[in-house]
Structure 1
Amino acid sequence: MFITSCSRKKDTFINRNFHALGTKYNILYNGNIALEKGRETVDDAATDNFWELLPIERMQVKDEIVLPGQSKNQDFERAEEKAIKAVQKHGMNIKGKEHNPQIDEAYLLLGQARYFDQRFVPALEAFNYILYKYPASDKINTAKVWREKANIRLENNELAIENLKRLLENEELEDQDLADATSILAQAYLNIKAKDSALTQLAIAADYTKKNKEKARFNYIIGQLYNEFGEKDSANIAFDKVIEMHRKIPRPYYINAHLAKSNNFDMENGNQIEFLEYLTDLEEDRENRPFLDKIYYRIAEFHRENQRDSMAFAYYNKSLRTNLGDKELQARDYATLGDMSFDKANYKIAGAYYDSTMIHMKLNSKPYRVIKRKRENLEDVIYYEDIAQVNDSILRLVNLSETDRLAYFKTYTDELKAIAEAEREKAEAEERRNSNTGLDKLANNAGSTNSSRNDARSKDAGKDQDFYFYNQTTVSYGKNEFVKIWGNRELKDNWRLSNTAAKGAGTFQVEDVAANATNEERFDPEFYIAKIPSDQKVIDSIATDRNYAYYQLGLIYKEKFKENELAKSKLETLLQNNPEDRLILPSKYNLHKIYMELGLSSKANAMKEDIINNYPESRYAQILLNPKSEFSSDENSPESLYAGIFKQFGNQEYAEVISKAETYITQFEGDPMVPKFEILKASANGRLHGFEAYKKGVNFIALTYPNSEEGKKAKEILENVIPVLAKKEFVSNDDAKHFNVLYPFSNEEKDQIEDFVKQLDDATSKVNHFNLTTSVDVYDANTTFVVVHGLTSSQGASGFAEILKENKNKIDRNFYSISSPNYEIVQRHKNINEYLESQ
């Protein structure tokens, strides 16, 4: 009977039940265990971002490519093997009909294993096979739901919605099947941005699911959706349903529901005392320790909304210190601290916070670009604040008397000695503790029956003390060596490449000097005094850099950040520091405008009289005398003058452009338009005098205006473009496809060019088999080329010029034939003679 019942080709009661029981209680049982184990792995690996709308299903889809026959998870691979084994070993497909009632479940297991293994196309095939081969199966509705889950993962959302709606209309689904169908339908609606329809389906799923995790997740998403719709009361009801489940659900849902509900608190009409007690209870609950970072952040937000900035600042920092790896939260903490510092005009500190923010954000995302733009706007102010701060400190030391210098550095070295003494005492105490630990270890080795436990503890402690960071002497030595080698470095990425140029010429920083000194020199005040700059040229250079930094800060605070008080302070300080003549007039004019905006009429009028009386011929005096005229924005404004010489540049009037640009650069020194004049001048020099002149001009701009847009562009040109333009080797004519004919004209012949071009255009217009054009190109200060473009060979170019000599136009003039690539090199390096010698 046993042998007979093993047959899969006989449709008998014994055969059917033998294979059905074996399939159900052996193969499928083990396969489902593997599937559930794999699902737990997937669930544990998924990370929910509660800052955004949660997906309906907790599964993190990865972009890894899986080859056919491979699997991402061994448990799903085992489940798939069991499903295949059930079909192969126990399938009773007799005359096209399956007689083992468990095979449909085998295919369902197969599809689910493939689905969770993120092989959605093979999973879809398995579910479709059930619908095709087993239409009377009791798992048919489950298979339909899973098929649509696979369709949604394959972004077939509209098809899934159509099929699920038909299923819900035509079938009476059981509770869990109804929850599964409506929840996945809600996901499809979310994918197509139909959130109101998703909300309706999700409410049904939350009511009918029998799984507490799903009920909590669905209700939390319902709350999120109501918040997006602005219906806070309905959102709070949904969050309360999650909170009421408490220990029946994973803790993250419970805590985040509390926090999401707290975000809906009405700060104007609510009881703030009770609300703060509510947040404090969340903070003090020991079970909430893994979520303290988020709780601290919410408390910080509460204090910030109530304008208690010091409390908010403290809690944002507590949130950062207790963070357990939530990058989104870290980014929010740093960004908010940056905004708070920005609002207080602490721009340098704000810049540091924005740097930290970007580290914890997704690269090139929209929020990342917003923070990056904020940080770039602070680049100039941080740069010039560094220069002003460092150079001010140097000049203060320069201006101190010998007695005051000695007193200053005596105080500094006494502090160094105190720190060194404290470190020495700490190191000695650490050594004594290590010695006692060793004695305890020996004593424990000779102890009683409890010695083994004490030995292990002592051994572990000894191991700990061997670790670098547990030995204070080694740590102190390491810190000192680092400072000696690298100096004081800001804690940030690429710290080795930190820009030290902001310290100014001949800078003197006490910390850097101390870092590079011997132990004897570090505690000697005279050593530091000897390092103070004494060369008057160096001191003047430091003062010049400091004054220019103050001027730039005044303009930045006034124009970019609208911080008139800060701008006023910087410009007034500048005028007290005996600035260069080029900075005095624009500083006074900008101060006049700032006084007007601040309502300081008497100061504004005094500054106006000063400019009119002492600088009567200046553009600023003319504007003040006739403020209603369009003088400041008409033909004499820097913008209008720039537009004029830019037009001349387009007309190849390079010598005129260079001359006028030099005049305007001197006239508008300190104006933001100056770098634009500089880069136009460099381009004109390059067109007129060649590559080396252009390179020199671009290098000057990059060094002189490093924080302007033009300076940054010049630096980019130096790094990426100049190496390409530097190549001056001529290419072979065999490699070229386009050739030109050049007719040179000297400056004495310039009046002949217009007639010659007309004659040449008339001749080229009659050539139909080439698309010929002409141009007039300045070569250098003495020569201009009239060029014929569009020829296809060197011989053809020469032949064309010879033909023009013979036709009725009689264009008989000295010419050169040259390929287009070589013509570019000739124009770039002004080496036409080298080219002619090479031919």
Structure 2
Amino acid sequence: MKKTILYIFLASVLLACAAKKPEKRSRFLIGFKTEYNTLFNAKDALDTEFTGRSNAHKDNFYAPYINILTYEEQPVGSDIGQSTAFAESSAGRKPGSSAPAQSTGENKGASILEIAEAKALKTIDKYSVIRDGQEKNDKIFDAYITLAQARIYMGKNLQALDALSTLMLKMREDKRLPLAKIYQGVAYAKMDDHFKAHEIFANLKNSDLKKEYRKLLSIYYSESLLEAGKKDAAIAELSSAFEVNNNRKLKSRITYLRGQVLAEQGKPALARESFESAYKYANDFEFEVKSQIEIAKTYNSKDDYSGARKYLEGISKKGTYASRKNEFYYALGLMAANAGKKAEAQDYFRKSLAEKVSDPQIRGLSYYEIGRGYLTDNEYISAGAYYDSAVTTMTYEPTRVLLQEQTNNIKKLARNYYLIRKNDSLLALAKMNDADRNAYFSKYIEDLKAREDAMERERIRAERTKGFDTGDYSSNSVFASANGSFENFGAAGKGFYFANTGAVSKGSSEFKNVWGSRSLADNWRYSAKMSSLEDAKNEALGLSSVADPRRFEPSFYIEKIPRDQASLTKLKYARDTASLGMGIMYDDYFSNTPLATKTLYDLVDNKPEEKIMLQALYEIFSMNYENTPAASERAKQILLTDYPYTSYAEFARNPRNSNFLKSNPDAENAYQTSFALYQGEQFDASRQMVDESLARFPKDALVPKFALLNAFIAGKTSGKEVMILQLEQIALNYENTPEGQKAKEMLNWLKSDLKVQMTDEKGNVLKTGNSPQTTPKAEAAAREEEKKNRLLEQRQMEQEMGNEVIMSTEAQQKIQTAPARKK
């Protein structure tokens, strides 16, 4: 009876505790029940999510940076490494997704993170013990941290901050609060509020933290600094993270990320040290290989090239590394390129393509490097073909998009380049005499015969070896079955491979993804591709690839050369236009200003027609006058000397610049003198002084006035059309200045086509042509009156130009002498 009463009493106590409000609950057994009941389930769900993410994680080594923690989201632009095993979790959801999964309209339940969030909330609601506004159950701290983490990785950053704020309010004396503040900083960083995140992280860094907290802080702080673009601070924090973290995996990832940042900053020596540390601590085979590639990328000419090459070639043949031989060949190619050994680099890139594919992105990069080699040799068709293969093979989307744009630009450039070569050849042949033309084509025919003989010998050799079967039909062959007889691929149990349309389709798509479209031929990896490239090049140059019976006769080629002047002029115009386009493309598409400048100067030396000449000189000047004025000087002088009254010359005198400061007294004196000369009709002397003043005072506030005066001088000496050109340039260059506005007014006036309207004594408009009162004498008088009015307006404007500078001079003198009077 006593035992029964005791059990009833204990049960009553427990029920009373459970039924009371949080502030009335007893701490008796609450901690134990919290830890081993609902909170355990919440923590277990969160751990399951992170474990699943880590297991499914595959690093994207081609994004700008890797993540240190493998359960973080993939970098932006990554479309590789997403494991299909975790396409949906055990609850039917993707790890970390925040909305219920839908499949054919059916709800498959909550995600793992939603389960963790719900369990944490239930723990807080059921087991919280409040005394005087403070939480007395220590286990509730873990529940709040679990809740915050679940919400952060679901993208509910504001709700996570709300949970952490409640925790800091209710458990303000808890020694574990630094952990809550770390996740508070993480939530702000996820919201891109890096200022607030860095403020929290910096305060924590300067406080006395436990070692495990300092480890976590260093990781999140360094990544947040990197996201905010503070790379120097991020490098320092990554070094700190490397020191405090003892886990080999984390050390390897930290140093790899640090190496990426240093390489991006142009510090190859320091980057190489970091990648070497990443290789040293790597506990993952993929990380070892990629670290070796990055080490090769940071090679410089001061390093021991032969030793480094021997080392990489050696490890590429050892054990499991042999399966990544294509990646090591790519690394060797990069190292050779950095050492200035272009031919050797190209050879390694081709070897990489010949090996088994372990990483499609590396294969695409090898295609790209070969194409880039052709690009530097002006082999644009070959470069474009290899760029196309790179785009087809690569898996990292941002690189593919950028490379696709470059490929399109190369194709545009190729059309111009081969058009120039073809037309140059035709023009050069047209200038030759008959003897030189015969000698030229005789030499060409000899080379053609030698090439065709070599191709014929190769064809005969292939025919002779075609009948020899080199297949392996021994008992060890893959074609033999276990009992020694030949395998029956048509048997019902196995089925013939090529009868399975699904298998054939999959194999065909995989082959095209790696190799592209190839025809069936010997040495198909290279021969077919190079043959098609040669055909494309010949087509661009206007050479027929079909063997003509007369191809060994010089007359066959000579009779195709144009002779009449109209055809030759048309060829030269097309050649010059293509050259102009190619020069502009070099600068716009490839940012290669020196090559663009050289191409355009070659065009100028080729004496194109005036329109193309002016455009070429303008492009040279505009792309060089700010950064490399020496390169633009020749173009400027040609414009000023040979085309002084064009808008291009005006631009060369005064490139668009509105950053004028104040007027120099010497510039004002020069302006007054030049204006006085203009009024005295000494136009040549006035123009000379204007040109000298613009050269002496290119940043002076009077530059727009000098330009406007120069336009008036041009109107007096060269006519209305030249004046209009210069006024248009002033209106464009100095749009927001009074001179720009006056130029617009003058343009409206000069371009207007006003007709004289005759009126009678009462002011009524008379019809022209039909009215007997409209006599030629009256029309001439009206035109003369209109002309006088316009001249009066022009003189008034000229007077305003002169008065303005005089007034500014007097005002400046008053300002300069005012302090003396005050003293």
TM normalised by structure 1 equals 0.51
In the other structure, the counterpart of 1:40 is 54
Q: Indicate yes or no: 2:356 matched with 1:302.
A: no
In the other structure, the counterpart of 2:764 is 810
Q: Distance in 1 between matches of 2:635 and 2:355?
A: 59
In the other structure, the counterpart of 1:197 is 233
Alpha-carbon contact 1:151-1:160 (below 8 Å) kept: yes
Q: 1:29 to 1:409 in 2, by over 3 A?
A: closer
In the other structure, the counterpart of 2:41 is 27
Alpha-carbon contact 1:220-1:242 (below 8 Å) kept: yes
Q: Indicate yes or no: 2:4 matched with 1:9.
A: no
Equivalent runs, 1:31-430 vs 2, <5 Å:
31-40=45-54, 43-44=57-58, 46-49=59-62, 52-58=64-70, 59-60=73-74, 69-70=99-100, 77-88=111-122, 91-93=126-128, 101-137=138-174, 139-173=176-210, 175-225=211-261, 235-246=271-282, 249-265=283-299, 267-268=301-302, 270-289=303-322, 291-322=324-355, 329=362, 333-353=366-386, 362=398, 376-385=412-421
Equivalent runs, 1:427-506 vs 2, <5 Å:
459=495, 463=499, 467=504, 502=540
Equivalent runs, 1:439-838 vs 2, <5 Å:
459=495, 463=499, 467=504, 502=540, 508-510=544-546, 633=638, 786=754, 809-813=763-767
- Give the match's secondary structure for 1:104: helix
Q: Which amino acid aligns with 1:91?
A: K
Q: Cα deviation per residue 1:53-80 (whole Å; 9 max; x = unaligned)?
A: 4454453256999997457999992232
Cα displacement (A) at 1:219? 2.2
Q: 1:386 to 1:78 in 2, by over 3 A?
A: farther
Aligned length: 569
Q: Cα deviation per residue 1:380-400 (whole Å; 9 max; x = unaligned)?
A: 11344478899999x99xx99
Q: Which amino acid aligns with 1:200?
A: A
Alpha-carbon contact 1:71-1:117 (below 8 Å) kept: no
Q: Which amino acid aligns with 1:124?
A: L
Alpha-carbon contact 1:34-1:79 (below 8 Å) kept: no
Q: Which amino acid aligns with 1:203?
A: S
Q: Distance in 2 between matches of 1:462 and 1:357?
A: 29
- Give the match's secondary structure for 2:18: coil
Cα displacement (A) at 1:242? 2.9
Q: Distance in 1 between matches of 2:45 and 2:169?
A: 23
Q: Distance in 1 between matches of 2:76 and 2:11?
A: 48
Q: 1:237 to 1:340 in 2, by over 3 A?
A: closer
Q: Which amino acid aligns with 1:380?
A: N
Cα displacement (A) at 1:159? 1.0
Q: Distance in 2 between matches of 1:632 and 1:150?
A: 61
Q: Distance in 1 between matches of 2:344 and 2:389?
A: 21
Q: Cα deviation per residue 1:233-254 (whole Å; 9 max; x = unaligned)?
A: 65555444333334xx222333
Q: 1:168 to 1:632 in 2, by over 3 A?
A: closer
TM normalised by structure 2 equals 0.52
Alpha-carbon contact 2:420-2:579 (below 8 Å) kept: no
Alpha-carbon contact 1:299-1:315 (below 8 Å) kept: yes
- Give the match's secondary structure for 2:111: helix
Q: 1:586 to 1:292 in 2, by over 3 A?
A: same
Cα displacement (A) at 1:110? 2.9
Alpha-carbon contact 1:294-1:329 (below 8 Å) kept: yes
Q: Distance in 2 between matches of 1:358 and 1:228?
A: 23
Q: Cα deviation per residue 1:252-285 (whole Å; 9 max; x = unaligned)?
A: 33333334444555533x4443222222223223
Q: Which amino acid aligns with 2:370?
A: L
Q: Which amino acid aligns with 2:416?
A: D
Alpha-carbon contact 1:774-1:786 (below 8 Å) kept: no
Q: Distance in 1 between matches of 2:309 and 2:454?
A: 46
The unaligned stretches of length 5 or more in structure 1 are 471-477, 482-487, 514-524, 572-582, 588-628, 648-771, 779-783, 789-800, 816-839
Q: Distance in 2 between matches of 1:549 and 1:407?
A: 35
Q: Distance in 2 between matches of 1:77 and 1:464?
A: 39
Q: Which amino acid aligns with 1:299?
A: L
CA RMSD of aligned residues (A): 6.7
Q: Cα deviation per residue 1:788-834 (whole Å; 9 max; x = unaligned)?
A: 9xxxxxxxxxxxx9xx979965333479xxxxxxxxxxxxxxxxxxx
Q: Which amino acid aligns with 2:254?
A: F
Q: Cα deviation per residue 1:756-775 (whole Å; 9 max; x = unaligned)?
A: xxxxxxxxxxxxxxxx9997
Cα displacement (A) at 1:368? 7.8
Q: Distance in 1 between matches of 2:460 and 2:569?
A: 36
Q: Which amino acid aligns with 1:812?
A: L
Alpha-carbon contact 2:330-2:349 (below 8 Å) kept: yes
Alpha-carbon contact 2:46-2:150 (below 8 Å) kept: no
- Give the match's secondary structure for 1:214: helix
Q: 1:787 to 1:457 in 2, by over 3 A?
A: farther
Alpha-carbon contact 1:76-1:116 (below 8 Å) kept: no
Q: Distance in 2 between matches of 1:261 and 1:633?
A: 50
In the other structure, the counterpart of 2:736 is none
Q: 1:387 to 1:156 in 2, by over 3 A?
A: same
Q: Cα deviation per residue 1:477-528 (whole Å; 9 max; x = unaligned)?
A: x9699xxxxxx999999xxxx9999575xx85418x9xxxxxxxxxxx89x9
Q: 1:132 to 1:237 in 2, by over 3 A?
A: same
Alpha-carbon contact 2:368-2:387 (below 8 Å) kept: yes
Q: 1:288 to 1:167 in 2, by over 3 A?
A: same
Q: Which amino acid aligns with 1:49?
A: Y
Cα displacement (A) at 1:27? 1.7
Alpha-carbon contact 2:148-2:161 (below 8 Å) kept: yes
Q: Distance in 2 between matches of 1:501 and 1:221?
A: 48
Q: 1:417 to 1:111 in 2, by over 3 A?
A: same
Cα displacement (A) at 1:347? 4.6
Q: Distance in 2 between matches of 1:630 and 1:158?
A: 49
Q: Cα deviation per residue 1:583-616 (whole Å; 9 max; x = unaligned)?
A: 99989xxxxxxxxxxxxxxxxxxxxxxxxxxxxx
Q: Which amino acid aligns with 1:154?
A: M
Cα displacement (A) at 1:646? 13
Q: 1:112 to 1:449 in 2, by over 3 A?
A: farther
Q: 1:408 to 1:301 in 2, by over 3 A?
A: closer
